[in-house]
Structure 1
């Protein structure tokens, strides 16, 4: 059935009254209140997009006299259908993943398995400690011999020592490494690993030994560990759409509408660059691998916590950044503020713009309130509020420079953003005008 513009507007006008009922219906269908909120939000967006794409009541379908008798029931059925569609998509995705897993198991692979990977990391750590404890000359001789393939007489001439000294240094280095590896393997070499794994481990240790010793080699190895990306992904979300992504360590990232982020995992850290918009993070704790979010010259570092970060367009072309913590603790540092750290706990927030830092406090559940279909404004300008809402509205929201400077506070339910904008003249000295392109312009009242 093709819905007319008047029929759809009637549904939208009753959306606010039906919101609580729709949330309950969707929660029963999905089993998740958070996912239910996303579905209800998508229902409103679909209706709003439908109205926007129609020139008026001339479109085919129901007439104004055929408005729904019970908007709540109609919307509930619509939300149920969307929940079923989402469930079918998940099932297809799971089937695809199962087939991919079977294929990966049957296909030949030369990549190390989980046991190999753990073994390699442990062996490298042992090797690093053993080489770090060597005298500098022994380490330099070891690296020159193993990495560059230099002959011992050449090494002796370059280091300004005798050939016998180089031989003793190499014997010392090999003895220290063998002793460290023997202790790591529990004092027994025989039958500890399969022959293939021993060869792989030997090759890995040889490669690592090449880069670990001596001044340049040691720095090269550290640079490799710091810059080699083990896993990465780049995601963006469209206007009006939230996107959830699971990370390989058990963490998760929820992108707000009109947002983008790039994730990179290194050996000793996990890094997310938030280019625009907002994101909420649920971080799996790993003391040896901190989780770092970089946004607009601000660095947020955590071990394991739940928190939100948002890039807020600021004055003078410089973006501001807000951080809100739901649980755990985070450390926030700003390049503009000289790297001065700020520690935040549950319910605490921080807004940074340039060198200015303003602390905020709210209920922990208000962190990244957009997850629950709401936006919270506290002493924000009207321009900031309209810009924030424009991530969801299917039409442009703008304000004149004079009106954009007006301050406001309060909560806005995203699903009824159009009604909130229409009611602005009741709270502020402004008028709202509909533009020719369908957008809304807020200007001072005359």
Structure 2
């Protein structure tokens, strides 16, 4: 049985809790009433958020929260948390190998007044996305006036300290560099963090097939997401400068939405690329994806996976150009691994193909017969055939590259002729 003293303590706590709830309700009522009195052009009315106190004054921020199961294109946001973070480290060529948890990783994007990273460019909107329990949170810090920059940067640094890695798209070359510049200008310290830039891996996978690897292109063509109520990034500086002139924040709504979309796309693009690496033969649908994955596995000395990706290309495309390229790459992989007989079989298969495949396999076969089989006669025959093909090409295409190739082949033929004569003399 509880003592009288314990019951009195509990009663006191209930009174305090009721007082706290009442105070919170009063604050909410005051906030709603205050906002209803604001003109619709005011920032607080157009883009509701709150002020944060810092040692350097106040800054303005807002949050947008999504259930983790919310889909962004083909993927729910939660799919990213199913990915092993180490896969992103590998494709982004990050040096740190320590195991990370998704609670230690954030996604960030900036909207700026210019495209340079020098002292004349400002970050007027900084967005950070991260997983928090069953939600994905996008917090946006907005520079209402230039005098608040130090306060805004300090607040950003406090949030960034929660994370050990940050994911961006071209952030290593632009966004983070500009952030470092702004911190230096404001005499603040920005803690270093592990940077995972998705632009290089996206280029490897999609530059040839899509023509460009802009984030909006990737999200449309790869992730299946189409933007609505979104202001293009190139218009952002002009609209921000207009806001600085007349204070009308309504025109900024599309910029804030654009920033949110960029961060959500970063999140699901991470899931997509990571899924390709984890299950290449299941997830990859285009030969260029498989070529990119094969190069990664080759770099990671996982040669059996590299070979499997190239074989898969030949199955998808069969007799097309991609299949021929896959066989060529596969032959070079066998050569690097010292599997010369396998490579030679593929070179023989490619001899009847058009274009470069007519010369490149013959050159490799000539090397194989000369140095591995010690069949100088076959090596010489292949070299002479290749010279004839290059001479035919020169009739159509005159270039220094063709001339250089022809001189190298003639030099090889002359050497083989000498070897053949020496062998004949015994």
TM-score by length of 2: 0.25
TM-score by length of 1: 0.24
Q: Whose helix proportion is higher, 1 or 2?
A: 2
Larger relative contact order (Cα-Cα within 8 Å, sequence gap ≥ 6): 2
Q: Whose strand proportion is higher, 1 or 2?
A: 1
